[in-house]
Amino acid sequence: MVASGGEAPYYLPLSDEIDVFLAAYSQRLPILLKGPTGCGKTRFVEHMAWRIYGDDNLVRSPVKQPLTTVSCHEDLSATDLMGRYLLHDDSTAWQDGPLTSAVRHGGICYLDEIVEARKDTTVLIHSLTDHRRILPIDKTNELLEAHPDFLLVISYNPGYQSILKDLKPSTRQRFVSLEFDYPTEEREAEIIQVESGVDENSAKTLAKVGVHIRNLREHGFEEGVSTRLLVYAGSLMRQGIAPRRAANAALVHALSDDGEVQQAIADIVDVVWP
């Protein structure tokens, strides 16, 4: 959840993604975010929720919960998203799931890594992603019309999905798509510095480490190192951990279990770091 007041969640735009997102939101077009792990998709959605629901000109009425994030996993079913009857004393009462709640009350519902969830979840969202903007709830015999300020955002990571878990074209073509990738070295250094509080030189060095480690994609870690992990390394350094030790803890062992790959990453850190 993101409060609509307070300070904006830090996000450094990489391209025109903010403009495209706002344009899509103004038409209530569902949005698909594609990109590798830890490149800033979730932070982007948090930032956009803060922007949109903090601006009276963009929303029809205040919403209680600007952003509902669901981290999808293989056991997540349509019922988990929609809701279920729960026992209350000697009776049962309907409890909205996160998707239903967002559809009913407004706000962004962000389904992170949607293809990880069970197949019935993608069927569920189809009627929310076209002109109907409805959510049929069989169990309550309800045909829920989406709140005017509801927006569906999903993400998926094409990098490590198998063909069995790929997003079907019939689903994919219901969304405006925004592609994400890791930032340039300069921008990544800026992000690391802001996020971890580490000094400028260390942030630049960490960004450089990131560039060289990403050259090793497809050696047990398909996507290279995430910006998130580089920020973690910076955060450890900020707390006084020696740079190589911080990199070892945050990067080397986090990225691979292959001893030789770990050795290569440690060697890269060793020569890049002063």
Enumerate binding residues for other proteins (CB under 8 A).
212-213, 215-216, 219, 260-261, 263-265, 267-274
Shortest distance (Å) from residue 121 CB to other proteins: 38
170 or 263, CB closer to other proteins? 263
> Which CB, 115 or 269, lies closer to other proteins?
269
Residue 39: closest CA among 202, 135, 159, 177 = 159
Q: How far is the CB of 213 from other proteins (least distance, A)?
A: 6
For the four alpha carbons of 184, 4, 112 and 124, in that order, the dihedral sign comes to negative
CB-wise, 22 or 261, nearer to other proteins?
Answer: 261
| Shortest Å, Cβ 267 to other proteins | 5
Of 3 and 216, nearer to other proteins (C-beta) is 216
With respect to other proteins, which residue has the nearer C-beta, 78 or 269?
A: 269
CB of 84 to other proteins, least distance (A): 49
DSSP 168: P
Min dist CB 138 to other proteins, Å, is 53
* Three-class DSSP category at 107: strand
* CA–CA distance, 196 with 230 (Å, rounded to integer): 9
* Spatial distance between the Cα atoms of 125 and 135, rounded to a whole number of angstroms: 8
Concatenated DSSP letters of 9-30: PP---SSSHHHHHHHHHHTT--
Amino acid symbol at 51: R
